[in-house]
Chain A
């Protein structure tokens, strides 16, 4: 079967008309964060069979609506009424209120800053479409960008457009995406690969999981455009096995796209072909590092190798390979559709567009958000996040997970960008933001992250393998208040060694939590230098 743009539009129109036939839509979040969603959907269906208006109402399962703290969330369309913490027992009441006064006790005001202050590109279709329905995605304008690209644009035009948009890698390092694409496109060799890094591993980060679970087709569309641009006919999605729902939806999406000839050979009648395969990772954090990821896709041990050569030149099976993170690729269809200038018009001078953050920790509105780059941390934490619960005060926000740092209250007015965060001793990372209040001990947090890095070190290079273990031992001494003066000096010099000599990014960034807290919260370390118990003095006392 060959699909042309017209047929695509036909399918989309059909689905739109079908959806318009219903007076109300009940959208139920079915992401991992909203429990009991199956029971809730069943309860709604049951309630509708008992209601006269039943046939005019459509219950749809959708992806993440963002405000996980209020979950399970239900959205009523076209009224745009959000209900929070919905239980199966509430279904009948919500159904009977359709078209009338909403159920006040469950109401989640839609004019909250959480909703109004966000600006969505990647999350635009989150909570609006059924992740397991290609038609839903098409009806929302999906694949329009990919088909236009493949059938009407030259690869160089696509790359120029991405370059002009200013998009940078959302996996953490912030490498200019357009530059990466053009390097792979120019690389020697007929066989090239695209690899999507969906090995999200930072504690507290779940942006990629949400994308895979909520709009899997958007990722496939991004991969399609990327593969066309760099000249690859084979793509891999490396996703961790701990995301079973994401894997299931992704597999389904690939099957749907294949059936519609949006993947496979001669896509939409063009000369372009692409297969996408899924590779499951066993959850090793280091496999998020691109060379380790490649080794793992090839079936080897997931350990990094020295760069250069970079994957763009010699990647998967020695071929030029484009590796992009999920969120980076999910940004692409929007850029193609709305234009590079639109994207470049958002954000700061060097950090363009929007960024998805996973807001967690001691914060009222924990969940998934998307904001333009350049929004201040204060706006994110206090307005969108709704501040700190329980009368506590803000102490620090941790960004970038085990590779990032802790940013204290005095820097809350910093606009979020790659440059600003690294100037503060942290990193953008993949977008995890862990908010901490005054009861949190920085030494505890850092010890936790160091334990994580130590556990996840692959063990190949000495500074990371032994350095993280020794840093952890030193931090434990601070935690148990048995540290001595020299320990602080040793810890700091060890941080510099591990940062400057480790083989890959895991080791190079593992000291960041320590260095940033030593910078902003040094007294917390100093007050724990009390030395070990001296047995001689003890005997004297007795």
Chain B
């Protein structure tokens, strides 16, 4: 039997959720034995492959590029997990939604910058008006809130999904902490 194909994705977030995944420590070896990690900031693979079984996505959707990546991941993935508060609620990136991207950019790059004040645009995707959670755009199969979700939470969720015990997945995790 083929091993489930796992991918992880990092959108607008601090990478803390990926750190938490790494915090599973020696259990990583256990995981590695049971899945094929086909795409991740942790592996060298430029294009998101076809036929992925499980994708964990960290971060909010903050640019049109994020949205496009998310949509194509959705098309090529069976089970999509929103990993952490940014992916689930927008969290810290969404704090700009109140005042508008423009105001925030100006405040950070122009008003508080003494030397060579400019808003960086080169080779960067344009920030959209709002940073939004994944389920605004695509169907999300599982939500793992937490900032970040604990290593234990991530590990139990992944093992449950690998073993096909997803139906009664009820984890002790919530917003924040």
Contacts and interface: CB of A to CB of B under 8 A. Distances in A.
A–B contact with Cβ pairs below 8 Å: the answer is yes
Interface of A: 534-536, 539
Contacts of A534: 71
Contacts of B64: 535-536, 539
B157 to A, nearest CB: 23
B72 interface: yes
Nearest to B68: A536
A534 B68 CA distance: 8
Nearest to A540: B68
A539 B72 CA distance: 13
Contacts of B71: 534, 536
A535 B61 CA distance: 13
B67 interface: yes
Interface string B34-76: 0000000000000000000000000000001001100110000
B138 to A, nearest CB: 10
Nearest to B135: A486
A534 B64 CA distance: 9
11 contacts: A534-B71, A535-B64, A535-B67, A535-B68, A536-B64, A536-B67, A536-B68, A536-B71, A536-B72, A539-B64, A539-B68
A185 B100 CA distance: 60
Contacts of B67: 535-536
A498 B64 CA distance: 35
A48 to B, nearest CB: 67
Contacts of B72: 536
B105 to A, nearest CB: 20
Give 8 nearest A-B pairs by CB, closest first. A536-B68, A535-B64, A536-B71, A535-B67, A535-B68, A536-B67, A534-B71, A536-B72
Contacts of A539: 64, 68
B48 to A, nearest CB: 13
Listed residue (B67, B68, B72) with the most chain A CB atoms within 10 angstroms of its CB: B68
Contacts of A535: 64, 67-68
A539 B64 CA distance: 10
Nearest to B70: A536
B70 to A, nearest CB: 9
A536 B72 CA distance: 9
A358 B98 CA distance: 43
A536 B137 CA distance: 12
Given A534-B71, A536-B64, 5 more contacts: A535-B67, A536-B67, A536-B68, A536-B72, A539-B64
Nearest to A532: B137
A539 B67 CA distance: 12
A270 to B, nearest CB: 65
A532 B68 CA distance: 13
A536 B64 CA distance: 8
A431 B151 CA distance: 62
A288 to B, nearest CB: 35
A535 B128 CA distance: 11
Nearest to B136: A532
A437 to B, nearest CB: 37
A175 B71 CA distance: 55
A75 to B, nearest CB: 60
Nearest to B128: A535
A480 B68 CA distance: 22
A536 B71 CA distance: 8
B133 to A, nearest CB: 14
Interface string B74-102: 00000000000000000000000000000
Contacts of B68: 535-536, 539
A50 B68 CA distance: 83
A534 B71 CA distance: 9
A129 B64 CA distance: 70
B130 to A, nearest CB: 13
Contacts of A536: 64, 67-68, 71-72
Nearest to A534: B71
A539 B71 CA distance: 13
A536 B65 CA distance: 8
A534 B67 CA distance: 9
A535 B71 CA distance: 10
B173 to A, nearest CB: 24
Nearest to B71: A536
Nearest to B69: A536
A534 to B, nearest CB: 7
A387 B41 CA distance: 69
Nearest to A535: B64
B134 to A, nearest CB: 14
Interface string B116-139: 000000000000000000000000
A493 to B, nearest CB: 16
B111 to A, nearest CB: 30
Identify the interface centre among A534, A536, A539: most chain B CB within 10 Å of its CB: A536
B148 to A, nearest CB: 27
A539 B69 CA distance: 13
B78 to A, nearest CB: 19
